[in-house]
Amino acid sequence: MIRARTLPVFFALFRLVFRISLQSLSSLDSKAEVRLDKKIFFAFILLGSLILILSDLPLYGQTIAYVYPAGGQRGTSLEVLIAGSQLGNAKQVWVSGGDVKTEIIVQPRWGNFWEAGIQNGRFMNIFRDMLKEEEKLLPYRNDPKKMAAGRRALRMEREVKRSKEPFDKRGVEIPSDEEFFSYGAYFHRLRNPTLEDLQLVYYEYLAFNFDRRASTAYNSTLIVKFTIGANAKPGKRELYVLAGGKVSRAAWFWISDAKEVNEIEPNHSPIWKDWWNRFKEYVFLPVQKLPVVFNGQIKPGDIDRFHIRARQGQRIIMDLQARSLEPYIANAVPGWFTPVLTVYDALNNELCSADSWKFDQNPLLVFQPPYTGEYILEVRDSIFRGRNDFVYRLAVGAFPLVYAHYPLGGPVNDSLSIYLKGENLPEPIVYPDFTGKVAYEEVRTIDLVKKTGLIRPIKYVVETLPIYQAVAPKRDSRLWDLLLDPDSAPKPSHPQINKPIPLPVPMVVYGRINSPNEVDQYELDCKRDDWLVLDVKAQELGSTMDSVLELYAPDGNLLLMNDDRADSKGPNIGQETHHSDSFLMVHLQKTGKYIVRIYNRSRHSGIDCYYRLRVSRPQPDFDVCILPSSLRFRNKSAQIQVRVFRKEGYRGPIRLTLPKDSANFVISGDGKIGPDENSKNFVIKMNGKMESNPMILQITASAEINGKTVEHPVLPVNDWEQAFIYHHLVPVEHLYISQ
């Protein structure tokens, strides 16, 4: 099949051959028939050869499709399967953040699981023979000495048989055991297999499956040993592979403190009735005590079930991470794995279920067991799809969880307490960091949880403008629980429009929607020819509010309205697909009192329905992204694409610069991005040698705005496609370069 990248070349060659044919036909005579046949023959031979060569070229470079398991417990070692594209001859695997050692154990010859069943049936026959031999050893499974002696005898018998009959019925040479162990992703476990190893290989390669098509998204695999240090910081890390001289696109790997277990198939009911039943013995994952993290994959037709033991009265957090591991799927609708998490009691009665958490498509449940005993957790896709890259992590335990926090930020270089509302909070107050240099505003993060890296963090804003708090916490109590409980407040069916609150400009407002039909109003005294910006942050800070902004002119007529600040065209930076926060920027034509209305589109209300509204003049700014996030220098040069996202009217020039210690690298065109340019290509040239291979290259973007120099680090991103059409720029931590 001709790949998309080779299509232009194909058409060019086709035109060339067609032109040769026309020229030959135009000069056709009785003596030229032989020359014509030769020209056309050799032209089509050339065309066919080039098509075959070009069609085998990779459309994409080194990419990681999925990592399984996608995390591990610190202080432990584990084997990790990395599947992707063009990962052959991998030289190095590393994880950001330190304290994680990696070692490539196996680079299987088979690119993916299904290639084994489709193209190499003879190896499957060998594996079936091995299973039959292991079946003979089942009576000695509890006696290691007899098991080892029996396995040696059976292998010697197999080697003798292979020496007498080295070829199969098709005349193909039968591989040795060691050669066979190097083919499949998990075949190395068959050297001295446990029943769990045999069961794993069987269900990966031989068990009935609805989809055995080979996928170009993961046509090569690696088995890597991870050794996680005891002092490794829990949380989300980035994982890279250096293969073919190029650094792969980043994948994500989590480190936690809780016990980690991997699923064992079959782990759903009913048990598949197939050839494996000849063993008359299955390995099942035992009932787990809390806390625990389950790692699994939802494959075609798959439903995973896990058994836990919980105590009555506990407040158990069940946090399932899927989109945070593989945010987008290019060739599926919806364009991401949509897991559903369900809890059953021991009698298989459904107790609760979740498919999301606020605006996040990673489901989360707060579960209070009605009795002490065993419970069943079920994970499936919402529309019963399944793929190898449907990887997930399910953290279960009495972990801290924050529903909401208030206030949403504080002034720069000041001290402030943030009051929390949530579950299993050991301390109701945390102290954010407001120090440092801030140009306008900055969103920062508090990682409240030290026990596991899976629970969602707290986001707050460092402010440079005056703050007005529409909801004031009671400082003497130090508990936000004593604020107005929205569940006890009246819920009118008609719109509850609050009296307008006069605000000076500029000002930042921290507010909350306490009833479903509440409409907050603010009055602004503005003059003609003023520029006014109304900027809402709610979803970005973890709120459940889908804000709507309305601006009314002094005569009472609706002037402008905005629901979502970005549509399908973007800018789509990050993993969000629903940009529910509102934004307005308007040039005012009249002097007078303007009314700003803000309310929740979804009519949800409560303690987690808070918002931050900035009312100010425009604050011109910009963000610069660079892609791809990894560069390979060929002939000491690499091409990059830069995308500029201009904010609040900034249209001036921008310049890219390298650090002083990167004198070996030069950006073409002096790194200048012209006024109103939003996309530009540059070439980075290397004059000397790289300090290491790979290495990190830092690029800074700067501009003069209102007489001040504004600098931002250039954000490395990867262009992800989802649902066949939408493109998203997913940021990573560093820009890696290699040669």
One-character DSSP codes across 260-298: EEE--S--SSSPP-SGGGGG-----PPPEESSEEEEEE-
Q: CA-to-CA distance for 480 and 114, rounded, in angstroms?
A: 55
37 has pLDDT over 90: no
584 has pLDDT over 80: yes
Which residues have a Cβ under 8 Å from the Cβ of 228 and sit 6 or more positions away?
72, 73, 74, 75, 76, 77, 78, 99, 100, 255
In the predicted model, what is the mean pLDDT of residues 106-131?
65
Q: CA-to-CA distance for 651 and 242, rounded, in angstroms?
A: 39
Partner residues linked to 93 by β-bridges: 241
pLDDT band with cut points at 50, 70 and 90 for residue 517: confident
In the numeric block, which tokens belong to residue 682? 């540059």
Which residues have a Cβ under 8 Å from the Cβ of 603 and sit 6 or more positions away?
516, 517
Most confident residue range from 87-91, 175-179, 588-592: 588-592
pLDDT value at residue 483: 37
pLDDT value at residue 273: 55
Q: CA-to-CA distance for 559 and 478, rounded, in angstroms?
A: 42
pLDDT value at residue 355: 92
Q: Are 575 and 539 in contact (CB under 8 A)?
A: no
Q: Residue 115 to residues 112, 118, 710: CA-CA distances in angstroms?
A: 6, 5, 53
In the predicted model, what is the mean pLDDT of residues 37-54?
54
DSSP 345-376: -TT--EEEEES-BTTBSS-EEEE--SSSEEEE
Query: When comparing pLDDT for 68 and 40, which is higher?
Result: 68
Mean pLDDT in the chain?
A: 81
Lowest mean pLDDT among 151-160, 383-392, 701-710: 151-160
Percent share of the chain, pLDDT over 70: 80
pLDDT tens digits along 5-23: 444 454 555 555 556 555 5
Lowest mean pLDDT among 175-189, 649-663, 725-739: 175-189
Of the candidates 670, 575, 115, 663, the one whose C-alpha atom is nearest the C-alpha of residue 321 is: 575
In the numeric block, which tokens belong to residue 635? 């002939």
477 has pLDDT over 70: no
In the numeric block, which tokens belong to residue 352? 């609760």
DSSP 471-487: S---TTT--GGGS--GG
275 has pLDDT over 50: yes
Query: When comparing pLDDT for 592 and 142, which is higher?
Result: 592
pLDDT tens digits along 634-679: 888 999 999 999 999 999 999 999 988 777 889 998 899 999 899 9
Q: Are 462 and 434 in contact (CB under 8 A)?
A: yes
Strands 304-310 and 373-381: antiparallel
pLDDT value at residue 451: 46
Q: Residue 489 to residues 288, 604, 610: CA-CA distances in angstroms?
A: 42, 14, 16
In the numeric block, which tokens belong to residue 91? 């030289």
pLDDT tens digits along 496-507: 777 889 999 999
pLDDT value at residue 227: 96
482 has pLDDT over 60: no
pLDDT band with cut points at 50, 70 and 90 for residue 184: confident
Q: CA-to-CA distance for 205 and 715, rounded, in angstroms?
A: 41
What's CA 312's distance to the chain center, in Å?
35
Lowest mean pLDDT among 209-223, 235-249, 453-467, 700-714: 209-223
320 has pLDDT over 90: yes
Alpha helices in 476-530 (DSSP H): none
Within a 10 A sphere around the Cβ of 213, how many other Cβ atoms?
9
In the predicted model, what is the mean pLDDT of residues 331-348?
92
Query: When comparing pLDDT for 499 and 615, which is higher?
Result: 615
pLDDT band with cut points at 50, 70 and 90 for residue 557: very high
pLDDT tens digits along 406-449: 888 889 888 777 788 888 876 655 667 888 888 788 888 887 65
Host H or E run for residue 67: strand 63-68
pLDDT band with cut points at 50, 70 and 90 for residue 485: very low
In the predicted model, what is the mean pLDDT of residues 533-551?
93
pLDDT tens digits along 418-429: 788 888 876 655
pLDDT value at residue 55: 40
Percent share of the chain, pLDDT over 90: 40
pLDDT band with cut points at 50, 70 and 90 for residue 210: very low
Q: CA-to-CA distance for 119 and 105, rounded, in angstroms?
A: 24
